[in-house]
Amino acid sequence: MPILHSLVIALVATTLTFLVTLPIVYLLIQHPIKLNWAIESLLLLPLVLPPTVVGLFLLQLFGKYGIMGRFLALFNNYSLVFTLAGATVATIIVVLPIMYQSIKAAILGVDRHLVEAAEVIGATQFEVLRYVILPNAYNGIIIGLLLTFCRGLGEFGASLMVAGYIQGKTDTIATAIYFAIQAGDNNTAIYLSVVDILIGVTALLFIQFLNHQNKRGSANA
């Protein structure tokens, strides 16, 4: 169960973060505003904070007396605390800086003249993104998605603060390893660690492969 929970959380968090981050990064690059530095600092903030601080902030926000907590309670007394959805929200906040940096680097890596070549023929912002940016930033974006996914898979502090550790309900690979060790169940901890390592190594090998492809593509261009 913890493996499935971790995979679901990492997958959903990666997908949602990508969908939110891509348009933000693209618009900030295409139409820089004076407050770019402030928006960027806000998006990168979770990177410099301990995950427990992020967790605490989310608890304040989504807890029983938090603004979002009270709002969600209006819908059939729903609460994010102690749920997988809560762990997913915590993971989204923690992985946001990784996704932001990866997508930004990938988009900035696309030759500016390619974008201008499309603009000259009247391509809209969406068409530039769809037909020029995404195909040419493809490998960089995939690398960003994998890094984000791996970070999401290993998320511990913030998720634990928000979702806690309820066996069969909110347990993830990272929290299950911690509580298995606490309970003296080394076998479970090692088994889960090996699974996590295998997923991580597979992702890293794929990232190396894509990096190699990128270098070959640049050399041929």
Nearest distance, CB of residue 122 and another protein, angstroms: 3
Binding-site member from 122, 168, 184, 187 for another protein (CB under 8 A): 122
Q: Is 220 in the site for another protein (CB under 8 A)?
A: yes
Question: What token pair was written down for 124?
Answer: 């809209």
**How many alpha carbons lie under 13 Å from residue 152 in its C-beta half-sphere?**
35
Q: Which is nearer to another protein, 122 or 184 (CB)?
A: 122
Largest CA distance in the chain: 66
Q: Which is nearest to 162 in space by CA: 74, 45, 82?
A: 82
Q: Are 69 and 80 in contact (CB under 8 A)?
A: yes
Binding-site member from 16, 45, 118, 181 for another protein (CB under 8 A): 118
Per CB under 8 A, which of residues 128..187 are in contact with another protein?
131-132, 135-136, 138
Q: Is 53 in the site for another protein (CB under 8 A)?
A: no
Q: Is 116 in the site for another protein (CB under 8 A)?
A: yes
Helix (H/G/I), strand (E/B), else coil: 192: helix
Q: Which is nearer to another protein, 188 or 214 (CB)?
A: 214
Q: What is the dihedral of CA 208, 214, 218, 221, to 10 degrees?
A: 140
Q: Which is nearer to another protein, 40 or 119 (CB)?
A: 119
Residue 162 CB neighbours (<10 A): 29
Q: Which is nearer to another protein, 48 or 120 (CB)?
A: 120
Binding-site member from 77, 121, 168, 184 for another protein (CB under 8 A): 121
Q: What is the dihedral of CA 90, 96, 97, 101, to 10 degrees?
A: 160
Residues in touch with another protein (CB under 8 A): 111, 113-114, 116-123, 127, 131-132, 135-136, 138, 217, 220-221
